[in-house]
Structure 1
Amino acid sequence: MILHRVAKENYNLLYSIGLTGYGVGMVLVPLFAEFLRQAYGWRGGLLIISALMANIIPVGMAIKFESHKNSRQRNGFQSVPSSPQGCNEGTESNSSTSQDTKGDSSDEIGVVRTIANSLRQSDFYMDPVFNVVFGVTFAYNMVWSGWHSFLVPHALQRGISVRNTIIITFAAAIGNTFSRVAAGFLTNSLVKPVTLFLFATILNIAAILCDVYFDNYYAMLVTTCISAMSIGGRSVLNQLVVRDRASPEKFDVAYAVDQLSVGFGLFLGGYLCGMIADHFSSYDATFKLLACIDVIVLLLIVLVRYRPKSNPA
């Protein structure tokens, strides 16, 4: 949200670089936390990490936006003039009674009309395919949650050693970080985010199916890295697709709805994947479910890709 307001150029690249902190944190924070634990104990380590996180506060305070007055003028808002001086007090007192009797009904009608007009002018109404984007967000985050939650149990259930499992997660972190930067670089000028999202979805479906049917450590190492690249890259691309599809002045609302879809998807994805794993006593079944969900993501993103937003007349 902040970057959307302050970045005038190279937004895609800047946004992707900002999100690389997730992958970098997966690699560095556990090592750093272990170092702090050995040197200062777990309490001291947590205090140091919390102090580092507190730097977000002054950095956030240093960000400045346009003044409130300028932003209102830019968005086409005008202040409502006050009532003229010297109005006839007798007229006001005579009309006050009739206004009170009509006040409740007129207020209700005004609220309904305001809501109806807002909906008619929103992207959700003017661009019906835009609602499909939030379906993509919901289903994709189901895959995100299930894959991250059950990657390690899946490897351990196959008899892979703890050491090799750590190597697998390290490869996933590297792929995750690289794909986020690559997504921003490619979409900054070379390819549309929705097209790259479609390609990454196909890649992840193939990687998950290979992981299910090839029970081999080295195969899992490769497929995990590919899936991490696809899932990490799509976490960037998903927001870029929303931004490209939404009207610039209405992006705040679209972003809020998108984040709501993220929350529901993360919850339902983890719950369903865990339930399937318990029912079949196998994480292979969970990963098959993830592949099926990603097929749904693919169908939805194809619809978004080939039904571009029409320009208003």
Structure 2
Amino acid sequence: MKKYLFGVDIGGTTIKLGIISTEGHIIDKWEITTKKGDQSDQIPNDIWEALSLKMNDHQIDKNQVLGIGAGAPGFVMTETGVIAQAVNLGWIDFPLGELLKNLSGLPVYIDNDANIAALGENWLGSGDLAENLVAITLGTGVGGGIIANGQIVSGTNGMAGEIGHMTMQYNGAPCNCGRNGCLETIASATGIARITNERIDKYPNSILRDIRSLKGKVTAKDVFDAYKESDELATEVVNHITDVLGLAISNIATIVNPSKIVVGGGVSKAKDALLVPLEAAYKRYALPRIVEGSSFTIASLGNDAGIIGGAYLVKQHQL
């Protein structure tokens, strides 16, 4: 009998869902709107209703489903499936795993969304099933996932892999976590734009000044586009953020000793404009033997990484 895995990726705007075979083929994938505020407690019902409808469409019986693997933003207690805190959803100590299990009658596995994305990339993406991998997501924030000896590292209370909240400047910019100088304040799309705008007045000939005049703001994409044109300000900013990020990755690599370092998220669309200076910075700081055993690559699954990782979380537990 054909068996299936359900993958769920809960985001602040949409929830991505997928039905995936045990071999890794996406049978179907779709999105539903994420309810927020005082309606966010309806999310488990919305997920199961959406999955149930697709089961009917594809004539999948419940006994063909091995389980549901879901990634959620925020701090996740993986052993219990409780979301300790998800600020954007308004969840505090929310029993997502238990609620989904009661609704579906299926095994349910919950992890942080960045961890789920790392699992997905490692299964069917750029990771190539590496035993030891560091995944970094550069978007509005900075997320991370660490795989060691083939297993995602969650930690005592779900906080392992929070790469974005490594302190890189003890007196740096304030972070949403309440502390200062986190990697997220520097290497995220938001951080790159902030740093550029702070320095822009010192570079009267920068094309980024013209962009700001036209659009009212400068984005991380603008910075990398200008970097490709050898703009002086953009070059300074890219060198700065890749230097800090390369240092952070070198410290993580000292502990994990990964064979693969996978970089994803919106900022990674800059590709070589990001990867080349980042890898150079990493090599400056990392132990030579660690450098010898590791390689950098851009994530390849895009928005599918979360649902694929959720499915793989089920596969790991059930097969």
- Answer whether TM exceeds 0.5 for this pair: no
The structure whose RCO (Cα within 8 Å, separation 6+) is larger is 1
Higher helix proportion (structure 1 or 2): 1
Higher strand proportion (structure 1 or 2): 2
**Structure of larger gyration radius:** 1
Alignment TM class, shorter chain as reference: under 0.3
Task: Tell me the TM-score normalised to structure 2 length.
Answer: 0.26
